[in-house]
Amino acid sequence: MVMQDFSRSSERDSDTALRKSEKEWVEILRRAAHAGMSSIEHNYTPTSRTRVTKRGAGGDLTLEIDELSEAAIYNTLSNDLGRDSFIFVSEEMGEVRGSRDAEVPKPIILCDPLDGSHNAQVGLPLFSISLSVFGLRRKIRRGDRRRLGDVDVGLVFNIPAKEEFYAIKGMGAFHNKKNIPGKSSKRVREKKDERFSTVGMECGDVDYLKKVMDNLSSESVYKLRVLGSAAISYCLLAEGTFDGFIFVQPNGARTIDSPAGYLIAREARRIFADLSGQVKDIDSVEVGFDSRINLIGARDQETLLKLRRILGKIAFST
C-alpha cells in the first residue's frame, strides 16, 4: 500500500478535526469515497478484480482493489484532515493512530473500502464503500469502548449504481442528498395478514442461511433478497425498499460491518433488535473486529416484533 508523506499537514491539531461540523464531515467522507471509487474503477478488470494480496485485519482475504481503495481513501482523508488528527480503522489495515498525541481524543474514522468484496471479485455489480465517524460528540479516548450509538456521521456509496446514502446523528438520513422520510410508506398487501413484501438478509454461511430460511415461508414473506453487501442492505431498509432486514452469522454478525449503514437506518427511524433477546440497547453494542451480534431490523416496532416471532425458533448460538 502506497502512502503519501504528510509531514507538513501533521502540524494540524486534532482539535481542528473535532471542531468541524457534521456537514463538513459529510463532504470529507464524500471526497474520500469518490477517491476510493475511482481507484476501484480504474483497476476493475476481469484479471485485477480477482487478485488477492493478503488476509486483512478483519480476517477476510484482501483483494488488490480493496487495498487500492483503502490507500486512496486514507490519503484523501489525510490531505483534508492531517495524518495525525484522526484515527483510521480499516478492515484491511487494522488501526492507524498516527505518530503523536496518542492519548488525545481524536475522531475515529471506520472504513470498509470495499463492502461486498466477493460480489466485486466475481463481477456482480453490488458493492460499496462504507465510511463512518465516531467521537465527535462523545470524546473517545484510548481504551474506551466504541459503540454503535457513537457513530456521528455515516456515508455509504453504492459504486455500480452511483448512489449515495448518508446520515448525521439527530439530523436525518439522505439518499442522493434528498431526505429519507422517517415514516414508513404504505404498501399494497396481497393478503389481509400483511405478510412482508421484501426482506433483506445478509448471511455468508450457506448452511446457516438454510437454517434461517427454514423459519420463513411464502405465507410470511413474499420476496427474500440476499445482496452480499451489508452496507447496501442497511440503506435499502432505511429508504423502505426492505420491510425487514436479517443480519446473521453462525457466531454472530460482525459489528464492524457498516456502522455507517446502521446510523443511516436509525436516522430513517428504522428499529433494530438482538435476535437472541439478550441485548436490550443496540446502540450500546461495541464496535470492533471481535464484537458480534445477530441483528434484525424493520421499518417500525410492530414489524420488528412480527419478524422476531417468525424467527424466534432459531437457535442462534454455536
For range 277-294, the mean pLDDT:
91
**Among 55-69, 187-201, 253-267, the least confident range:** 187-201
For range 236-261, the mean pLDDT:
94
For range 145-154, the mean pLDDT:
96
Task: Give the model confidence (pLDDT) of 172-230 as tens digits.
Answer: 999 999 999 876 544 544 444 578 999 999 998 999 999 888 889 899 999 999 999 99
SS (H, E, C) the chain: CCCCCCCCHHHCCHHHHHHCCHHHHHHHHHHHHHHHHHHHHHCCCCCHHHCEEEECCCCCEEEHHHHHHHHHHHHHHHHHHCHHHCEEEECCCEEECCCCCCCCCCCEEEEEEEECHHHHHHCCCCCEEEEEEECCCCCCCCCCCCEHHHEEEEEEEECCCCEEEEEECCCEEEECCEECCCCCCCCCCCCCCCCEEEEEEECCCHHHHHHHHCCCCCCCEEEEEECCCHHHHHHHHHHCCCCEEEECCCCCEECCCCHHHHHHHHHCCCEEEECCCCCCCHHHCECCCCCEECEEEECCHHHHHHHHHHHCCCCCCC
9-179: CATH superfamily: Fructose-1,6-Bisphosphatase, subunit A, domain 1 (3.30.540.10)
Q: How confident is the model at residue 316 (pLDDT cuts 50, 70, 90)?
A: very low
Yes or no: domain 196-311 corresponds to CATH 3.40.640.10: no
Ranges of each domain in the chain = 9-179, 196-311
Give the range with max mean pLDDT: 47-61, 64-78, 300-314: 64-78
Mean pLDDT of the chain: 87
Q: How confident is the model at residue 239 (pLDDT cuts 50, 70, 90)?
A: very high
Establish whether domains 9-179 and 196-311 are of one fold. Answer: no
